[in-house]
């Protein structure tokens, strides 16, 4: 069992576990806030996503410093740090997409599908949190990682539609086109990174058995 193997050593491990969990919970909140602000076209609320990313950044720093202060057996430390950094990459992408939405309206033909991608991204984060809890209980993560892959595949399908649609959207100038292209790339790449995080969690789970 994951807990038996690593938590018996002391409080530092418990702090790290709590912080990693908080980090993923913040990601779920950020994704949820992103959906709400997209749906309501509320640019002020979009700033909340940026604020949440900053908060998550400080949680990440705490996790990493606790780990290198001696939490966990040395062989586990790089994997745990890597996991937190992968989750942090998701925050970075989410922040970039939020910045685009603060400055621009999503073109109408792309709005519905963008919201669907955002919703599926949220579902994936939620599944990542479920996976993390399951790992702490010593459960098998096979079903959870499969669910994450299913969501990712679905987003890939939607991405194809978005690419087709975006070609029909009138673009004012090069920079407007680049910003829109970057927005779609970041929005649809979030799922790839969450999938990486989920796979990494599976690696940690296997390595503690």
Partner 1 sequence: MKVHEFMTKKIEFIDSNKSVYDAVEQMVDRRIRSVVVRFAGKETDYGVLTSRDIVFRVLAKGINPKKIKVAEIASKPIACIDKEMDFEDAATTMERSNIARLFVCDEGKIVGLISLLDVMAAELVLRARGNHVS
d(CA 128, CA 134): 10
Shortest separation between residue 112's beta carbon and partner 1, angstroms:
8
Min dist CB 143 to partner 1, Å, is 4
Nearer to partner 1, 72 or 132 (CB): 132
Residues that bind partner 1 in the complex, under the rule CB under 8 A: 28, 113, 116, 119-120, 122-123, 126-127, 130, 143-144, 146-147, 150-151, 154, 157-158, 160-161
Residues 6+ apart with CB under 8 A from 170: none
Cα 194 to Cα 102, 113, 161: the distances in Å are 24, 19, 21
Q: Minimum distance from CB of 160 to partner 1 (Å)?
A: 8
Instruction: Give whichever of 63 and 117 is closer to partner 1, judged by the CB atom.
Output: 117
- Taking the least distance from each CB to partner 1, the nearer of 115 and 171 is 115
Name which of 35 and 81 has its Cβ closer to partner 1: 35
């Amino acid at each position: 069992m994951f807990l038996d193997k690593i938590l018996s050593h002391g409080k530092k491990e418990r702090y790290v576990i709590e912080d990693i969990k908080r980090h993923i919970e913040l990601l779920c909140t950020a994704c949820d806030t992103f959906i709400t602000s997209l749906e309501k076209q509320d640019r002020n609320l979009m700033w909340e996503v940026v604020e949440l990313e900053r908060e998550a950044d400080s949680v990440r720093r705490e996790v990493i410093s606790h780990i290198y202060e001696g939490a966990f057996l040395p062989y586990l430390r790089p994997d745990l740090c890597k996991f937190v950094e992968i989750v942090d990459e998701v925050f970075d992408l989410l922040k970039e997409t939020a910045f685009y939405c603060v400055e621009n309206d999503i073109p109408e033909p792309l709005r519905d599908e963008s919201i669907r991608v955002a919703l599926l991204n949220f579902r994936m984060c939620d599944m990542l949190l479920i996976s993390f809890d399951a790992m702490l209980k010593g459960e098998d993560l096979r079903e959870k990682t499969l669910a994450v892959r299913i969501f990712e595949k679905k987003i890939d399908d939607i991405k194809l539609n978005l690419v087709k649609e975006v070609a029909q959207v009138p673009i004012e100038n090069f920079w407007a086109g680049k910003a829109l292209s970057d927005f779609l790339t970041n929005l649809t790449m979030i799922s790839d990174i969450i999938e990486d995080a989920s796979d990494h969690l599976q690696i940690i789970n296997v390595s503690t058995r």
